[in-house]
Amino acid sequence: MVALETAAQPLVILAQAMLFVKLKVVADMVSLCSRVALKAWLIALYPSHAIWAYCVGHAVSSALLVVIYYGTLLWHPALDRDQLALTWSFFKQGLLKQLLTEGERYLMTAFHLLDFSEQGLYDVVANLGSLAARFLFQPIEENAYVYFSRTVERGKPVSAAAGRVLHDLLRAMSLLGLVAVTFGWSYSHLLLRLYGGALLAAGPAVSLLRAQCAYVLLLAVNGVLECYTFAVMRQEQINGYNRKMVLLSVIFVISTGIFTRLFGGVGFILANCVNMLTRIYVCYRFVAGLPLEPAVSVPPLLGLRPPAAVAAALVTAGLLAAGSESRLYPSSAAAHVAVGALCGAAVVAAAVYSEPRLLQAARERVGDKLKRS
């Protein structure tokens, strides 16, 4: 199953680069529907073999994905050596990023840093905390990379259009991450209680989810920075970045061992935060060193700095939500939620007041989708 999906990935990336959006939608829809239908049918026939049905469903859907992409985008035997070398650099980078992204799970399993109950609790909280990354950040990052790869020339100065888009994306993603941190601290217990009951909320899961909220902020910023960085890097710069990734992998392994012994399961999330901070630092230094075209009026990296009104609203909302948790929750969960809703509305109002251009861009985007539909 993994081998089949990996075989389809080069053509998935090619289809994204060529803006074959309909192909991606159709392929994902056919793959998902076939997987669900086949698993349901097999489980209905063989209820005692649910795991087998799950594996067969995923394998068949992965095979369909390969057939659809290879059947639509016929492979051409001619190879561009420059593109092949660039692809090889990205392949090595992908292996290192896989280690940095999923490394804590490998370490957790190989060295038994946590017992099985702690591993299960960590997985539950990590999956819950990564919902924003999977359903919100990932589509934005994919589309951002497609945009940058088609509008930016490698090795050229930052254009006004690309700089404005990068600035707006950094501003939007950093604000979303700051909202997650602001409200995640005071509402983690309530969310876990609603999600898994009082037993889940009574253990260390609250601390795990609070740490995960900080990790979400770093994920949001790093995703956009890496999208732009990889879109403008030349091959020799990518190779240099890969060498830095080896050092980052060593730092990640060391920090995982230290933090896990000190903080238990929370240590894995703290190690991931250190990993993301180092990757953000590398990309930030690279983007900051790029020359800007004269038409660029605002440096793109200033998008990481929230407006003063939004920062004040976030700090005030965080303090009010924390006070609400200590005084109103859990005796009056509804009042605690009401305080959070009011604070959230105040943050949104401050963002709309401070960022009218982002609001206008969102309106235009929604309007374009409505016209197309």
Q: Which tens digits make up the pLDDT trace of 71-84?
A: 777 655 555 666 66
**How high is the pLDDT of residue 367?**
56
Give 211's pLDDT tier (boundaries 50, 70, 90). very high
**How high is the pLDDT of residue 310?**
94
The CA–CA distances, whole Å, from 219 to 2, 61, 272, 284, 327 equal: 24, 29, 10, 14, 32
Amino acid type, 5:
E
Give 24's pLDDT tier (boundaries 50, 70, 90). confident
Q: What does the pLDDT average to over 220-234?
A: 89
| CA gap 27, 203 in Å, rounded | 42
- The residue among 303, 291, 299 whose CA lies nearest residue 158 is 291
Q: Which tens digits make up the pLDDT trace of 136-175?
A: 888 888 888 888 888 888 777 888 888 888 998 999 999 9
| CA gap 274, 254 in Å, rounded | 11
Does pLDDT of 370 surpass 90? Answer: no
Where residue 228 falls (left for φ over 0; alpha for ψ -120 to 50; beta otherwise) is: alpha
**How high is the pLDDT of residue 93?**
64
Does pLDDT of 290 surpass 60? Answer: yes
Burial class (CB in 10 A: 0-12, 13-18, 19+), 331: exposed
Provide, for the chain, the percentages of residues in helix, strand and coil under a 3-state DSSP scheme, each rounded to the nearest 5: 85, 0, 15
Amino acid type, 167:
H
Q: Which tens digits make up the pLDDT trace of 240-278?
A: 888 888 888 888 888 888 888 888 888 888 988 998 999
Q: What are phi and psi of 264, to 5 degrees?
A: 70, -135
Does pLDDT of 373 surpass 60? Answer: no
Domain edges within the chain: 1-78, 80-302, 306-373
Q: Which tens digits make up the pLDDT trace of 329-345?
A: 888 899 999 999 999 99
Does pLDDT of 363 surpass 70? Answer: no
**How high is the pLDDT of residue 174?**
93
Q: Is the CB of residue 214 less than 8 Å from the CB of residue 350?
A: no
Burial class (CB in 10 A: 0-12, 13-18, 19+), 337: middle
| CA gap 329, 308 in Å, rounded | 30
